[in-house]
Amino acid sequence: MSNTQVLSDRSLQLLKALVERYISDGQPVGSKVLAQDSELNLSPATIRNVMADLEQKGFIHSPHTSAGRVPTVSGYRLFVDNLLTVKALDSEDLNRLHEGLSAEDNHDVIGAASRLLADLTQMAGVVTLPRRELVCLRHIEFLPLSSNRVLVIFVTNEQEVHNKIIHTAKVFSAAELQQAANYLNAIYSGRSLDAVREAVLKELQDAQERMNQGMLDAINMAQLAFSQNPEKDDYVLTGETNLMGFSELSDREHLRTLFEAFSQKQGVIHLLDHCMKADGVQIFIGKESGYHAFDQCSLVTSSYSISDEVVGVLGVIGPTRMAYQKIIPFVDVTAKLLSVALNPKPSF
């Protein structure tokens, strides 16, 4: 039997009103406040009885410091799954998202998506970087810096421009770097980063006897440019300090646990990777995530795609009393627009 079947329409109506009031005010909701809600049309005595029943069934509870009630994880889940009315984005927010993710000069579209989610929701925005096996190299350039430092600039999937500084075994001239880039572009353009990395390693192991020094130099530089960096190949997080503004997350211990999780990343990545396996918007409320650091938070996510293949996830992290009816469309629309921005443009 579902949660909605164990509750009467009156109980569902009151639970919806209580959750919406708590999300709006952030204060435990008492029967007197709900009795003033003209839409409920219930007497104070009836409201007290219904609230007692909701508490007994585990949908609301009373904090130690107040006689009012707040939703439990089960109460939020029932609200989100059955009682929520999702609001369409207003035209101003929609235009801001569209402009931020479709600008011709926007080379950091992943970072832009994270910043937009954080700015528009005033919570934390997170976007995982596209999986390497589905990110294709389009073009690479090498620019000499001081000593044996080289700036690598490479373009993926027509849109994303990446920069990386590598340290080479010897000093190269600009002409030598251009020759290396020409060789790599001719051989590897259009292949995924994972495929490039594997091919480069194989070349270094198997083909040194048939390669001239210039080709070897190019392969060595490619190895440095595309070597995996587990500390960087994860996600872009923006707006985490916004979470300090919510009273339920401002406790020093909560903040310490949360920011340590953001810093260590492994648990967050595991949770976000799990979201890639499902279609549409996914919502984890409090302890549902199975990740202790997020016990006081909710995570609303959606996957994004390149060439119809899911390559990453984006989402919003905030308190469990977030305005789900507003956050869900922000996440859903941003994921769709990011997919459009990252997909190769047709050539005519």
User: Is the domain of 55 the same as that of 111?
Assistant: no
User: Is the domain of 221 the same as that of 243?
Assistant: no
Supply the CATH number for residue 72's domain: 1.10.10.10
Name 225's bridge partners: none
258: domain range? Answer: 91-129+234-342
In a domain, 124, yes or no: yes
User: Is the domain of 243 the same as that of 119?
Assistant: yes
Q: What angle do CA 225, 339, 154 make, to 5 degrees?
A: 20
User: Is the domain of 125 the same as that of 242?
Assistant: yes
User: Is the domain of 108 the same as that of 14?
Assistant: no
In a domain, 347, yes or no: no
Supply the CATH number for residue 261's domain: 3.30.450.40
Q: Does the pLDDT of residue 343 top 70, yes or no?
A: yes
Pairwise CA distance, residues 171 & 167, whole Å: 9
User: Is the domain of 253 the same as that of 286?
Assistant: yes
Mean pLDDT of 247-262: 85
Q: Return the higher-pLDDT residue of 132 and 193.
A: 193
User: Is the domain of 245 the same as that of 337?
Assistant: yes
Please tell me the pTM assigned to this model.
Answer: 0.72
User: Is the domain of 246 the same as that of 123?
Assistant: yes
Q: Return the higher-pLDDT residue of 277 and 85.
A: 85
**From edge to edge, which strands make up the β-sheet containing 235-238?**
235-238, 124-128, 309-319, 297-306, 282-285
In a domain, 47, yes or no: yes
User: Is the domain of 98 the same as that of 243?
Assistant: yes
| Final residue before a domain boundary, out of 182, 200, 226 | 226
| Final residue before a domain boundary, out of 226, 256, 279 | 226
User: Is the domain of 108 the same as that of 257?
Assistant: yes
Q: Does the pLDDT of residue 330 top 90, yes or no?
A: yes
User: Is the domain of 106 the same as that of 53?
Assistant: no
Q: If 0-12 CB within 10 Å is exposed, 13-18 middle and 19+ buried, where does residue 233 land?
A: middle
Based on the structure, what is the number of domains in the chain? 3
119 pLDDT band, cuts 50/70/90, is very high
Q: Return the higher-pLDDT residue of 263 and 20.
A: 20
Pairwise CA distance, residues 178 & 157, whole Å: 22
Q: What does the mean pLDDT of the chain come to?
A: 85
